[in-house]
Amino acid sequence: METLTVDRIVTLNVDVQNDFCPGGALAVTDGDEVITPLNALNDFTRENGGIVVASGDQHPQETPHFGPDAWPVHCVAGTEGAELHKDLNILPTDIIVDKGMGQTDGYSAFEGITRQGETLESLVAPHGRERVALLIGGLATDYCVKNSAIDATKVPQGEGRLYVLVIEDAMRAVNLQPTDGEEAIKEMEAAGARMVESVDILTGRALELAK
């Protein structure tokens, strides 16, 4: 495995909200199994001076995103279903990205806005020749993880580099069709994202920080 040398790490926890976890309004099978690897990656990221970001659907009560030909009502802003899962390791100093507030699906975290009023793009875009690793996991592989990862590959890199690393064991798919998750992985790879396992990050096999 190629070990990437980077200057900065950003880890994006996509939509680990109650409504996408078992018992929620749009429960993803085994959705809560993303929490253990994400928590380890979040600690790793902070220990290495990086930035931890958690995105979340914050839908209005009425939106074309909900309906018989769309999704069941989920993650309505202000409800418990829209809160991050209590076991997800997110600290007050981490960055929260709200998305899906308007009348669009808002699948990508790059369509959202941080609680400080910034875009995710401004957080991850390399400064000068900086090499940045963006680690992405969460829910769901075939919607918000996929759209976020593909948008990440389109962030202007200038003279720097933005490596988009999708953590395969830290995401789960909705799988309306049984192969949707696999198809999503192929689409992310075709866009330039790399698939890795959390253990490869945590052991330093996939990533090292420049001295």
Min dist. Cβ of residue 75 to Zn ion (A): 6
142 forms part of the interface with Zn ion (CB under 5 A): no
Identify which of residues 75 and 207 has a Cβ nearer to ligand VGL in the complex. Answer: 75
- Spell out the alpha helix ranges (H) of the chain: 35-47, 120-124, 146-153, 180-191, 198-202
CA separation for the pair 74, 60 (Å, rounded): 10
Q: Which residues inside 70-99 make contact with ligand VGL, applying CB under 6 A?
A: 71
Chain centroid to CA 144: 7
User: Which residues are registered as beta bridge partners of 14?
Assistant: 55, 138
Q: Which listed option, Zn ion, ligand VGL, none, makes contact with residue 19 (CB within 5 to 8 Å by class)? A: none
Q: Which listed option, Zn ion, ligand VGL, none, makes contact with residue 143 (CB within 5 to 8 Å by class)? A: ligand VGL
> Among this protein's residues, is 32 annotated catalytic?
no
Residues 6+ positions from 165 with CB-CB distance below 8 Å: 4, 133, 134, 135, 136, 193, 194, 195, 196, 201, 206, 207
Written as six digits, the tokens of 111 are 């369509």
15 forms part of the interface with Zn ion (CB under 5 A): no
Out of 88, 143, 184, 201, the residue judged to bind ligand VGL by CB under 6 A: 143
From 16-24, 56-64, 126-134, 182-190, give the range in contact with Zn ion by CB under 5 A: 56-64
The amino acid present at 139, given as its one-letter code, is: L
CA separation for the pair 175, 204 (Å, rounded): 31
The amino acid present at 202, given as its one-letter code, is: L
First to last CA, the chain: 21
Q: Which listed option, ligand VGL, Zn ion, none, makes contact with residue 144 (CB within 5 to 8 Å by class)? A: ligand VGL
Out of 19, 57, 142, 200, the residue judged to bind Zn ion by CB under 5 A: 57
Identify which of residues 28 and 95 has a Cβ nearer to ligand VGL in the complex. Answer: 28
Kindly determine how many residues on this chain lie close enough to bind ligand VGL according to the rule CB under 6 A.
8
Which residues are catalytically annotated?
15, 99, 144
Report the interface residues with ligand VGL, using CB under 6 A: 15, 20, 57, 71, 139-140, 143-144
Report the interface residues with Zn ion, using CB under 5 A: 57
